[in-house]
């Protein structure tokens, strides 16, 4: 089966010790079976140390939430000593993700990573896909092909004759979401019931009246395109697709609220997008709760 990736995908490279929000802090680090077998036979002090920190199939984090192998320099002790191939699959792959669309596999990079965020929000080539040099075999099948819907949404976003607001309105209309106000305060109640990694982000994740300028609209289009790629692509049917389109629009409404009446620096915009991603779309429970909330309204 062929694998495809968006044009910006190959621009990503982990910035390691230069990262302000290391994925080695606060995130569960699962140890896949192959890596676990490699650790079982790894000799020396480091091998003993690694095995001593594995509990229930994961690396036990320190009390401050840091991976025990994350050095003060911000570099990974395992990578520095043994090489990247000795880390768990999740460490090697993050922030990459994979999903199936029709007869193909697609891979992307996630907005929760600050470097991926910078790349995604600065690229207009979100609708350009390239075939990977290698293929893969996969057994599961998908009954609902979302590719045509995604391409249609991308065609709307790429229409330079319309503003971001007009594009958003057209998507809302075409996917029969006009009865939902994505700035309605009732969504803030739904946000309040979610689980957060950092409770301080509660104040950030909300919707309200927005007033954005043309420059901000370009960033919002890229963010919406990413969300559609990651979440609409995996829809399981027509109703679920509509709800997932709504979910993407809702998260963009959160960003619109943050951008309203401000001319924030690009770095600040990326940080807001990273927080929205980390707290909402990277939580399966939070995503499912909001998709269900939208499904109940359509």
H/E element, 151: helix 147-157
**pLDDT reported for residue 211:** 76
Q: How far apart are CA 244 and CA 153, in angstroms?
A: 13
Q: How far apart are CA 151 and CA 158, in angstroms?
A: 10
**pLDDT reported for residue 59:** 93
Q: How far apart are CA 275 and CA 216, in angstroms?
A: 18
**pLDDT reported for residue 172:** 97
Number of helices (H) and strands (E) in the chain: give both, helices first: 12, 7
- Cis upstream peptide for 33 (omega within 30°): no
pLDDT tens for the chain, 298 residues long, are 889 999 999 999 998 888 888 888 888 899 999 999 999 999 999 999 999 999 999 999 999 989 999 999 989 999 999 999 999 999 999 999 999 888 889 999 999 999 999 999 999 999 999 998 776 665 455 678 899 999 999 999 999 999 999 999 999 999 999 999 998 899 999 999 999 988 899 889 999 877 777 778 999 999 999 999 999 999 999 999 999 999 999 999 999 999 885 667 899 999 999 999 999 999 999 999 999 999 999 8
Which residue from 269, 259, 1 is spatially nearest to 120, judged by alpha carbons? 269
pLDDT digits (tens, 9 = 90+) for 142-196: 678 899 999 999 999 999 999 999 999 999 999 999 999 998 899 999 999 999 9
Residue 143 burial (CB < 10 Å; 0-12/13-18/19+)? exposed
pTM: 0.90
Which residue from 151, 191, 157, 164 is spatially nearest to 294, judged by alpha carbons? 191
Which residue from 150, 21, 38 is spatially nearest to 95, judged by alpha carbons? 21
Q: How far apart are CA 206 and CA 223, in angstroms?
A: 17
């Amino acid at each position: 089966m062929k694998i495809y990736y968006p044009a910006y995908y190959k621009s990503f490279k982990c910035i390691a010790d230069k990262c302000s929000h290391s994925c080695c802090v606060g995130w569960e680090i699962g140890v896949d079976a192959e890596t676990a077998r490699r650790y079982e036979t790894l000799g020396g002090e480091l091998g003993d140390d690694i095995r001593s920190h594995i509990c229930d199939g994961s690396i036990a984090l320190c009390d401050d939430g840091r991976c025990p192998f994350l050095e003060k320099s911000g570099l990974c002790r395992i990578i520095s000593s043994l090489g990247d191939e000795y880390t768990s699959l999740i460490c090697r792959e993050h922030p990459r993700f994979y999903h199936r669309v029709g007869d193909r596999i697609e891979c992307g990079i996630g907005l929760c990573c600050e470097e991926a965020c910078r790349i995604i929000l600065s690229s207009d080539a979100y609708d350009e896909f390239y075939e990977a040099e290698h293929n893969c075999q996969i057994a599961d099948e998908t009954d609902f092909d979302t590719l045509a819907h995604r391409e249609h949404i991308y065609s709307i976003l790429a229409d330079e004759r319309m503003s971001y607001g007009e594009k958003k309105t057209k998507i809302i209309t075409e996917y029969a979401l006009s009865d939902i106000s994505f700035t309605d305060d009732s969504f803030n109640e739904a946000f309040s019931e979610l689980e957060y990694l950092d409770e301080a982000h509660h104040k950030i994740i909300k919707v309200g009246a927005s007033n954005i300028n043309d420059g901000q609209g370009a960033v919002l289009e890229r963010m919406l395109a990413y969300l559609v790629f990651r979440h609409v692509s995996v829809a399981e049917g027509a109703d679920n697709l509509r709800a997932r389109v709504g979910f993407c629009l809702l998260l963009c409404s959160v960003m619109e609220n943050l951008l309203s009446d401000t001319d924030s620096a690009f770095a600040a915009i990326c940080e807001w997008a990273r927080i929205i991603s980390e707290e909402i779309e990277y939580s399966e429970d939070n995503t499912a709760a909001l998709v269900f909330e939208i499904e109940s309204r359509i």
